[in-house]
Amino acid sequence: MAESQTSQDVVHPHPYVPRDLNLPGYIPCFLSQSNILSIYASFTISVFAVTWIFSGRLKKTTVDRLLIFWWAFTGLTHFILEGYFAFTPEFYKDNTGFYLAEVWKEYSKGDSRYAARDAGVVTVEGLTAVLEGPASLLAVYAIATGKPYSYILQFAVSLGQLYGTAVYFITAILEGDNFSTNSFYYYAYYIGANFSWIVIPSIISIRCWRKIVAAVQVQNQTKKTKVR
Amino acid sequence: MAESQTSQDVVHPHPYVPRDLNLPGYIPCFLSQSNILSIYASFTISVFAVTWIFSGRLKKTTVDRLLIFWWAFTGLTHFILEGYFAFTPEFYKDNTGFYLAEVWKEYSKGDSRYAARDAGVVTVEGLTAVLEGPASLLAVYAIATGKPYSYILQFAVSLGQLYGTAVYFITAILEGDNFSTNSFYYYAYYIGANFSWIVIPSIISIRCWRKIVAAVQVQNQTKKTKVR
């Protein structure tokens, strides 16, 4: 099996589409798909458990507790997983079985622009990692401590996520939408894995918009009352 | 002079970099640089005059009057100028001297990715035209009529402009930053023409952030007072 060969001297054909994509030094995945996914699932469950216990002690509402989980989860994903990709152009050459490299080798089956270092993908992932990663973790702190900038910060990060996802999908369509090894990877990785980052930021930005508009209305009414 | 030939049968060498960029059917600019710029300057002055008179009648503050001008100017630029580019892949073949095609033929001397139909550039311009254009014009209405969503809308559009500009410049760097005919066009068009869309959205988003945080603080205090 090619997977068991680790020597750099052996030329491994890559599994990605388009087939003529040139990836000299490519080393196949060491971990299976189920291993990679179960590690990410374990990470998600751990983040949920830690944030749920933590937010329970702070006596937060259920909505705030779910938001604290989301911002911790998405912030760590942006910072660690996407940060690794953005600053590691040669992850596909990794021959140590390092988990973060394995994730991107596997995800590239859904979108080979990751292995191919497409400028649009690297830009979106870089902005997500550097700006939205830390900002998401700041949102955890802002919700936990009830900061007045909590809504506008969550709105800003959600809008950034939505803009990034829009750039990600639209550039793919314009470039021919031919980056998936097969339709399973297309729907499971390219569509499925990004779906949460369309739905959840949409819900959060609508909620924050409403909360902010309500606050401005209260302020306007307070001013009017004072004028009277 | 090549500029005076309009027949499609004549092959015109394009002035763009990289030199090997293939643009079959390219027709040179009919208008001079100074003509193109003075038409855009006249448009800007007209928008300023109309919005300044209009906002003066509404007895708006100077800041609100400047904002109304900015949102009208940037909204029309997004919608008309960038909208034309986003949905006209073959503008460089235009042989009628149509102004909007002339603008993009000229601007491509600063960034040939426009003529080359780079996916990242088309995506950013498309999102800008379709989402930020109408939203900017809505901001004119929101400021003029004192809507409570005025700040959050201006914040959202400004953030979209900043994200778009970031994608625009970072993809250029990742793709080698070699799209300008010479350093004059690089600084005048690529840097100069985009500079306002870094500075002004930054100022507006900071202002809106502060206004919103202040409103949320007032609301929180009102709630506390009621609880007492």
A28's torsion region: left (phi>0), alpha (psi -120 to 50) or beta?
beta
What is the overall mean pLDDT for chain A?
Answer: 94
A119 vs B122, B148, B174: nearest CB: B174
By the 10 Å C-beta count (0-12 exposed, 13-18 middle, 19+ buried), B89 is classed as: exposed
pLDDT at res. B228:
62
Q: What is the pLDDT of residue A220?
A: 87
Name residue B198's amino acid. I
Give pLDDT tens digits for A171-183. 999 999 999 999 9
pLDDT at residue number A66: 98
3 state DSSP class of B93: helix
State the pLDDT at residue A2. Answer: 47
A152 in B contact zone (CB under 8 Å): yes
Residues of chain B with pLDDT under 50: 1-6
B213 contacts A149? CB cut-off 8 A: yes
The answer to whether the CB of B8 falls within 8 A of the CB of B24 is no
What is residue B2's predicted lDDT score, i.e. its pLDDT? 47
**B207 CB-side CA count, 13 A:** 14
Specify the pLDDT at position B1: 44
Q: Report the pLDDT value the prediction gives residue A1, as an integer from 0 to 100.
A: 43
Q: Do A209 and B164 touch (CB under 8 A)?
A: no
CA atoms within 13 A on the CB side of A87: 10
pLDDT at A97 exceeding the cut of 60:
yes
A21: phi then psi, degrees, rounded to nearest 5: -60, 130
Q: Does residue A79 contact residue A134 with C-beta atoms inside 8 Å?
A: yes
Answer yes or no: is pLDDT of A153 > 60.
Answer: yes
Best of B118, B143, B212, B217 to disrupt the A interface by mutation (most A CBs within 10 Å)?
Answer: B212
The B residues from 67 to 106 touching A (CB cutoff 8 Å) are none
All residues of chain B having their beta carbon less than 8 Å from the beta carbon of residue A123 are: 120, 166-167, 170-171, 174
Q: Quick check: B188 and B109 in contact, CB under 8 A?
A: no
B214 to chain A, any CB pair closer than 8 A? The answer is yes
Residues of B in contact with A113 (CB under 8 A): none
Residue A192 in 3-state DSSP? helix
Q: Yes or no: say if B161 and B86 are a contact pair by the CB < 8 Å rule.
A: no
Nearest by Cα to B123 from B154, B155, B94, B82: B82
Place of tokens 């596909």: A92
Chain B closest CA to A123's CA: distance in Å?
A: 6
A-chain residues near B174 (CB < 8 A):
119, 122-123
Confirm or reject contact between B157 and chain A (CB < 8 A).
no
Average pLDDT for A80-96: 97
Q: Decide if B130 contacts A163 (C-beta within 8 A).
A: no
**Could you tell me which of A59, A71, A61 has the C-alpha nearest to residue A142?**
A71
For B18, the token pair is: 């990289």
Does pLDDT of A226 surpass 60? yes
The one-letter amino acid code at A13 reads P
Beta carbons of A161 and A221 less than 8 angstroms apart:
no
User: SS3 of A90, please?
Assistant: coil
Residues of B in contact with A149 (CB under 8 A): 209, 212-213, 216
Tell me the CA end-to-end span of chain A in Å, nearest whole number: 82
Q: How many residues does chain A have?
A: 228
Residue A222 has pLDDT above 90, yes or no: no
Question: What's the confidence (pLDDT) of residue B220?
Answer: 87
Tell me, what's the pLDDT at A174? Answer: 97
Which tokens hold the place of A127?
A: 């902005």
Give the pLDDT confidence score for residue B224 in this predicted structure.
78
User: Is residue B162 less than 8 Å (CB to CB) from chain A?
Assistant: no
* Of residues A224 and B104, more confidently modeled: B104
Q: Does B206 touch chain A (CB under 8 A)?
A: no
- What sign has the CA pseudo-torsion B19, B21, B25, B30? negative
The minimum CA-CA distance between B210 and chain A, rounded to whole Å, is 9
Between vectors from CA B129 to CA B123 and to CA B130, what angle results, nearest 5°? 90
What is the distance in angstroms between the Cα of B208 and the nearest Cα belonging to chain A? 9
Are the CB atoms for A154 and A67 separated by under 8 Å? yes
CA dihedral A75, A77, A78, A80 (to 10 degrees): 110
Retrieve residue A13's tokens: 């054909």
Rounded Cα distance, B186 and B105, in Å: 15
Prediction pTM value:
0.94
**Is B127 in contact with A174 (Cβ distance < 8 A)?**
no
Judged by a CB distance cut-off of 8 A, whether residue A209 touches chain B is yes
B212 touches chain A (CB under 8 A): yes
Which tokens go with B58?
């509404």
Report CB contact under 8 Å: B119, A174. Answer: yes
> How many other CB atoms are found less than 10 A from the CB of residue B35?
14
Nearest to B123 by CA among A119, A11, A99: A119
